[in-house]
Chain A
Amino acid sequence: MMQVSNPLLSVAHLSMRFGGLVAVDDLSFDVGRGDITALIGPNGAGKTTVFNCLTGFYKPSQGRIALSHATSAARDIDVLTTSGQRHTRDVFLLERMADFEITRTARVARTFQNIRLFSGMTVLENLIVAQHLTLMRASGVGGLLGLLGAKSYRDAERAAIARAQHWLERINLVDRADDPAGDLPYGDQRRLEIARAMCTNPILLCLDEPAAGLNPRESAQLTQLLRSIRDEDGTSILLIEHDMSVVMDISDHIIVLDYGAKIADGTPQSIRSDPKVIAAYLGVADEEEVRAVSQEISTGLAP
């Protein structure tokens, strides 16, 4: 296990069972503050399941998922664990929290493997819904301030639109702001989903296969966007990705899963040469796929 000092997220002994199927098996890993961490593995390895546990969509069968906003000693997390509470001001035990609370208070945002935009709403509206909480607070008790069109509410709305516009510029979609999200090409939808997640102001952004279905040019745009999110917004990124060139290019830290268990954990350099990883990827029965995967790994190796 790669030593991460002062981790943002610390997953310990996480297991998820569906009946007899063990989708995640005693998994432990750390996500570094300000890093791009990649979670890779063959199909069905349990990557999406890990995400679903992190973001509260599944209750893990076992394990602890601790997120600390500020630098905190491992002892703080242990104290919180024994106290039975769900979170303190800046330490959060995600396995105890509901999905919407995780986004709201623990500030972990996510995207989905199969894009989940509000396709009947405009691009702008998608980004505004992501700022629901701020606007809700501004609209006052029972939405009264909003109903009466109070100035404080209008200011908050204007700020939300400005923030949305900022993200539209970052993903190059200002011109499509008033079009339905369902009308966008696939690559734009992927970037919009990331921008929408960023509008919730997360400290950790979890991306499930953001480069899937993108052409090389769009992949390059994506890596640029992810780097800028890490460097300019100070949001750490945890991503699942099959595209090895993207993974090797941008990750600071890679974790490899196979059959729900961790088989490797380290820097891109160490992962490339790890025989267990190559075996896992090549351990696929289908000839065609074997060739595709080995080629993919070698392109990742190529720099």
Chain B
Amino acid sequence: MWKRCEAMTRTNLTHALQEALRTALITAGLCFPLLVLRLEQDSSNQLTLQQRWSWLVFAVIGLSVARFVGLVLQDWRARAPRAEKPIAPTRPQLARAVSIFGLIALFAFPLVVLAFLGPSGSLKWINNYGVQILIYVMLGWGLNIVVGLAGLLDLGYVAFYAVGAYAYALLSTHFGLSFWLCLPLSGLLAATWGVLLGFPVLRLRGDYLAIVTLAFGEIIRLILINWTDVTNGSAGISSIPRITFFGLPFTAADNGFAATFALEFSPIHRTIFLFYLIACLALLTNFITLRLVRLPVGRAWEALREDEIACRALGLNTTRVKLTAFALGAMFAGFAGAFFAVRQNFVNPDSFTFLESATILAIVVLGGMGSQLGVALAAVVMVGGTEILRELDFLKLIFGVNFDPAQYRMLIFGMAMVAIMIWKPRGLISTRTPSLFLKERKNIAASHVGEGRG
């Protein structure tokens, strides 16, 4: 028996090697004219033939190795005994440990970066990585209520983000209201829009709901572009008042933040304050959501995702359940929008395109629908990932000095997404933690959890 197994392995290996060789030959034949030969115009406008043999070598080696590994893996998979083993749900303790570690890392991040890189070096890290990622964490958490918990596919989430941003921009420039007053107002306005959108679309399910919410997102953007009297059209609204430290402006003036606390003035102070501000907003979102999930409202959202008809048979007013999900999700987007406006001190409709909605939705799906921790991790991976791809200068060593990794960002990123979805089709964290228990809290494997059909 064992012998036969081994023999089989050997024939399979030879087969894989043959296939790899064949791939190498085909690649070489096909790619020779495409990759090796290149005509270029030199400075005197003459065409010269350049030869790039290294490209061919990379392509041939890469593809044949990929073919070989692929075949071996396929063979190994086919023979490994694959009893219908459910994916072991992650243990609640592990998730808690990761959360606590994440929380400490979050609050230490700006200080550690500042200590190592100094005020000017750390600006990029705190702003482009820290604040940027946290905005998406917050948006992802907000959308998670609608998509992940209630199971309603919303493709126009960015509309509420836009409402929040413009609400702060307009209220602060026209009426001089402070950020702290505008923040709840922006949230309320966005929630109102959430309910307004909710009413007409509540009867729709699945694809239809997705299309209408998509259209709603575009309508809001087009209104922002065309209602020039109020929104100033595509030029946007500039010189929005900046954030202050509870009244103290972050300026070099005598009554500024730096002078008051006897620090040397540096723009990093404002960035760090913004970082902690968005961190608190995001954590507030998280805290409220986690509490609500354990309350009847949140359980109703999840029940709605599992089976809407059963919900109605149990006396749940599904219209109201959907509206609360829409309104709450929209409110958090509104808060995030107000923050976005005060951080940029400029807003225009270009920041609220469909691509934003798609990114936020991708974060929720990649994270694992319904999982708060998963969504946070996915935001770090996705937003941090696209940013870090700007830094990959070492790729120039391989592909030559003319290679600009930033241009391949989206390509690499897309491939990484596809890979993750193959590896974890239900997202990074796909298990569900029950809202209450009798004896022991046991996480639920993804295979049982519904994805929502509307």
What 1/0 flags go to B32-45 for Cβ under 8 Å of A? 00000000000000
Give the number of residues in A that approach B within 8 Å (Cβ atoms).
45
B296 engages A135 (CB within 8 Å): yes
Q: Residue A143 contacts which of B297, B438, B444, B450 (CB distance < 8 angstroms)?
A: B297
Separation of A183 and B432 alpha carbons in the complex (Å): 14
Q: Which of A5-13, A31-39, A96-104, A235-243 has 4 or more CB atoms under 8 Å from chain B? A: A96-104
Q: A132-B296, A182-B448 are in contact. Are A112 and B313 (CB under 8 A)?
A: yes
Question: Which residues in A have their C-beta under 8 angstroms from that of B299?
Answer: 121, 125, 128-129, 132
Q: A116-B307, A120-B450 are in contact. Are A99 and B312 (CB under 8 A)?
A: yes
Q: A125-B299, A125-B436 are in contact. Are A120 and B292 (CB under 8 A)?
A: no
Separation of A101 and B288 alpha carbons in the complex (Å): 29
Question: Which residues in A have their C-beta under 8 angstroms from that of B441?
Answer: 178
Q: A55-B313, A116-B309, A180-B444 are in contact. Are A122 and B434 (CB under 8 A)?
A: yes
Q: Does A293 have its Cβ within 8 Å of any Cβ on chain B?
A: no
B316 engages A177 (CB within 8 Å): no
Q: Give the shortest distance, in Å, between A214 (CB) and chain B (any CB).
A: 20
Q: Give the shortest distance, in Å, between B276 (CB) and chain A (any CB).
A: 24
A178 engages B440 (CB within 8 Å): yes
Chain A residue with minimal CB distance to B444? Answer: A180
Q: Does A15 have its Cβ within 8 Å of any Cβ on chain B?
A: no
Main SS class of interface, A: helix
A120 engages B313 (CB within 8 Å): no
Q: Does A4 have its Cβ within 8 Å of any Cβ on chain B?
A: no
Q: Does A124 have its Cβ within 8 Å of any Cβ on chain B?
A: yes
B444 engages A132 (CB within 8 Å): no
Q: Residue B437 contacts which of A99, A119, A124, A129 (CB distance < 8 angstroms)?
A: A124
Q: Does B396 have its Cβ within 8 Å of any Cβ on chain A?
A: no
Q: Does B4 have its Cβ within 8 Å of any Cβ on chain A?
A: no
Separation of A210 and B123 alpha carbons in the complex (Å): 66
Which of A100, A128, A200 has the most chain B CB atoms inside 10 A of its CB? A100
Q: Does A225 have its Cβ within 8 Å of any Cβ on chain B?
A: no
Q: Does A279 have its Cβ within 8 Å of any Cβ on chain B?
A: no
Q: Does A147 have its Cβ within 8 Å of any Cβ on chain B?
A: yes
Q: Residue B314 contacts which of A146, A179, A196 (CB distance < 8 angstroms)?
A: A196
Q: Residue B315 contacts which of A116, A121, A200 (CB distance < 8 angstroms)?
A: A200
Separation of A112 and B312 alpha carbons in the complex (Å): 12
Separation of A100 and B305 alpha carbons in the complex (Å): 17
Question: Which residues in A have their C-beta under 8 angstroms from that of B453?
Answer: none
Q: A112-B313, A130-B314, A147-B295 are in contact. Are A119 and B436 (CB under 8 A)?
A: no
B314 engages A129 (CB within 8 Å): yes
25 A-B residue pairs with Cβ-Cβ distance under 8 Å, sorted by A, are A55-B313, A57-B309, A103-B315, A112-B309, A116-B307, A118-B450, A120-B448, A120-B449, A121-B303, A122-B434, A124-B434, A124-B436, A124-B438, A125-B434, A129-B300, A132-B300, A132-B316, A135-B295, A135-B296, A139-B296, A161-B436, A165-B438, A168-B438, A178-B440, A183-B448
A contacts, CB < 8 Å to B: 55, 57, 99-101, 103-104, 109-110, 112, 116-122, 124-125, 128-130, 132-133, 135-136, 139, 143, 146-147, 157, 161, 165, 168, 174, 177-183, 196-197, 200
